[in-house]
Amino acid sequence: MEGKNKISVIGAGTIGTALGNIIAENNQGEILLVSIEENVVRAINEQHINARYFPGHHLHASLRATNDESRLHGSSIIFLAIPSVAMLDYLKSIKEHIPGDAILVNLAKGFGYGENTIVECLNREFVNPICTLKGPSFAKEIINHIPTGFTLGHPGAGIDLQVSELFKGSTIYLDFSEDIQGVEFLSILKNIYAIVLGIVDAQYNSPNLRFLILTRAFREMMNIMLYFGGKEETLYKYCGYGDFTLTALNDLSRNRTLGLLIGKGFFTEHVSHELVLEGKTAATVFYNKIAKETGAENRFPIMSELYRIFTGKYDISKFVSSVLEMEEP
C-alpha cells in the first residue's frame, strides 16, 4: 500500500510483530514487517504466523512481511524494532530506502554509538522526524490484547497526533512528552536498576527491603535523568515509574533475571552474553559518562556499586549492606 497511510515496522521479532499486529487489526490497508529472517517472512505471508516468536498465534491477514527493504518506499511512519546494538549500522545500510519525510519511531532500549542515545544518533544521520516509544510492555501481553501503556516522546508539530491515530480504539494507550531525551534515558536506566532489584530479591526476598531499595533506586534514576537534562515530570509517564517497576519486579524481565543470577552467585560472562542484557552495557556507559566529572559518582551510589560488580572481583554477599550504608546525596 503506497501513500500517506502506509505503515512499516523494521524488525519482526516479538515487539515488532506484536505492535504490527495491533496496528493491522486497527487500521485499513497493509501493514508491512521488514525482516532479514527469511523463514519468518515466509511463515507470516503463507501461514499468518510468526513461528519463531509467536508459534501458534494467528496474525491479522493485512500484516505482511518482506526482506526487501526497497518496499519501505512510500511509508509515512516506520517503527524501528531491532536491537539497539544493530540498529544504527543496519539503518545506515538501507538509508536509500527510507523516505525522508517518514516519521521514525524508535522502540529499542539502549545506547547508540558511544555515549549517545539512539535518538541522538538518528537525528545526526537522518532528516526525518524522530520519535521514541517506551513503556511497561511485554510483547506477549500486547499480542494477546492486554491493555498496555506507552509514552511517545516526540518533537511536536502534530507528530503525536499522527502516531496516536494508529492506536485509537486498540488496547494500546499512549501518553506524550516532548522530553525525548528523558524518555530515552529512562528506558535505559530502568534496565540498570532492574539488575539491582534482582540482586536484592535473590539474597533476601524481603518486601520491606525490596521497596526500600526500589524507592532509593527510583530517586537515583531521577537524579541521573536530571543530571543529563531530562525533565522530572517524565518520570511519572508510562516510560518512567511504570516501565521501571515492570522491569524491576517481574521475573519475565531479562535484566532482573541477571540480577537474580548475580545475587545467587551464578553469574558468568557467558550468561550475560547469551541474554543480550542491555542493563549491563548501559551501567558501564552511564558510569563512564558520570565519572568524567570529579566526584559525580558519589551522587549516584547504587550505580557506582553495580559498576564495581561488572569491572572486577566483588563479594556479592556485601552488595546490599554496602548500598544501605551509603549516604544518599
Specify the pLDDT at position 329. Answer: 67
Query: What would the pLDDT profile of 143-163 be if each residue is shown by its tens digit?
Result: 999 999 999 999 998 999 999
Grid cell 486498540 is found at 170
Q: Which tens digit of pLDDT belongs to each residue from 254-313?
A: 889 989 989 988 766 555 554 556 667 788 888 888 776 766 667 888 998 998 888 878
- Distance in angstroms (rounded) separating the CA atoms of residues 279 and 112: 14
Q: Which residues fall within 8 angstroms of residue 42, CB to CB, at 6 or more apart? A: none
Q: Which of 109, 134, 190, 237 is catalytic?
A: 190
E strand intervals along the chain: 7-10, 31-34, 63-66, 77-80, 103-106, 130-134, 148-153, 172-177
Q: What is the pLDDT of residue 193?
A: 95
- Burial class of residue 251 (count of CB atoms within 10 Å of its CB; 0-12, 13-18, 19+): exposed
User: Catalytic annotation on 95?
Assistant: no
Q: What is the pLDDT of residue 1?
A: 38
Whether 104 has a pLDDT exceeding 90, the answer reads yes
Q: Which residue has the cell 517524565?
A: 234
Average pLDDT, the chain: 90
The structural domains of the chain, ordered by start, are 7-178 (3.40.50.720), 182-325 (1.10.1040.10)
Q: pLDDT over 70 for what percent of the chain? A: 93
pLDDT in tens, 160-184: 999 999 999 999 999 999 999 999 9
Residue 240: pLDDT over 50: yes
The pTM assigned to this predicted structure is 0.91
The whole-angstrom separation of Cα 240 and Cα 185 is 10
What is the mean pLDDT of the segment spanning 126-136? 97
Nearest one of 146, 197, 198 to 170, comparing CA atoms: 146
Residue of 256, 1, 234 lying closest to 132 (CA atoms): 234
- β-strands 63-66, 130-134: how paired? unpaired
User: For residue 28, what pLDDT is reported?
Assistant: 74
pLDDT of residue 298: 75
Order of strands across the sheet that contains 63-66: 63-66, 31-34, 7-10, 77-80, 103-106, 130-134, 148-153, 172-177
The model's pLDDT over 44-103, given as tens digits with 9 standing for 90+, comes to: 999 999 999 999 899 999 999 999 999 999 999 999 999 888 999 999 999 999 999 999
Q: Look-up: residue for cell 517518514? A: 102
Q: Percentage of the chain surpassing pLDDT 90? A: 72
Statement: residue 137 has pLDDT above 50: yes
